Amino acid sequence: MHNTERSERLTSVPDGPEIPPADSPASAAGVWGRIMRLAAASGNPKRTAAAFALGVFLSFSPFFGLQIAIGMSVALLLRLSKAATFIGLWANLPWFMIPWYTATTIGGAFLLRVPLSPDLAGELRAVMEYPLYRAVFWERLAEVAGPFLWAFLVGSTVGAAGVGVVAYFSLVRVLHARRVSR
């Protein structure tokens, strides 16, 4: 595509970035269109929704850095759409991560009855006073943050399962409605 054609296809926002048009593969409509084409190509909307929900589950799970490998492996083993799984893996965006994992860790701490220190922020500040390369830093960090490891794993896994279930049933309903309307 030439620069003039590209500039005609982009919408300019005053003092802001160029925004791709709604039919662009980079837009939300473009991603949604790809999901719909995948569903149309698949004989079974439930399997497409299951693949997408697997990706969504993994994107919100505690398995940082392993989501793609796990998702593609499970999709291959279960003969699910790898493309739908990959699209589902895009669900958790970087700006959602800190609030998501904070909230789910607190939820996990509640489920596991992990006691919260009344001065947790002060304890973390005290840990940060030690040099990162000293053993005392890591020992103190393990004392303060250690009890939250299981809370993090349990909370984010339960939360990810909930989001995955919602994604599955939502997409099954949408795909079924689209098939009926055609």
Q: Which residues contact 27 (CB under 8 A, 6 or more apart)?
A: 20, 21
* % of the chain surpassing 70 pLDDT: 75
**Contact between residue 56 and residue 91 where contact means Cβ atoms under 8 Å apart:** yes
Strands (E), the chain: 11-12, 18-19
| Complete DSSP assignment for 39-59 | HHHSS-HHHHHHHHHHHHHHH
Q: Which residues contact 103 (CB under 8 A, 6 or more apart)?
A: 159
- Which residue has better confidence, 47 or 20? 47
Has residue 67 got a pLDDT over 60?
yes
Q: In the prediction, which pLDDT does 120 show?
A: 84
Q: Which residues contact 153 (CB under 8 A, 6 or more apart)?
A: 62, 108
Q: Which residues of 48-64 are buried (b: 16+ CB within 10 A; e: fewer)?
A: bbbbbbbbbbbbbbbbe
pLDDT tens digits, 166-175: 999 999 998 8
List the chain domain ranges.
Answer: 42-181
Q: Which residues contact 44 (CB under 8 A, 6 or more apart)?
A: none
Mean pLDDT of the chain: 83
For 17, other C-beta atoms within 10 Å of its C-beta total 8
Distance in angstroms (rounded) separating the CA atoms of residues 3 and 60: 38
- Which residue has better confidence, 16 or 83? 83
What is the DSSP-derived secondary structure letter of residue 65? T
pLDDT tens digits, 101-145: 999 999 999 999 998 888 888 998 999 999 999 999 999 999 988
What would the mean pLDDT of 72-89 be, rounded to a whole number? 93
- The partner residues of 19 in beta bridges, in order of sequence, read 11
pTM of structure: 0.72
Q: In the prediction, which pLDDT does 12 show?
A: 46
Q: In the prediction, which pLDDT does 157 show?
A: 97
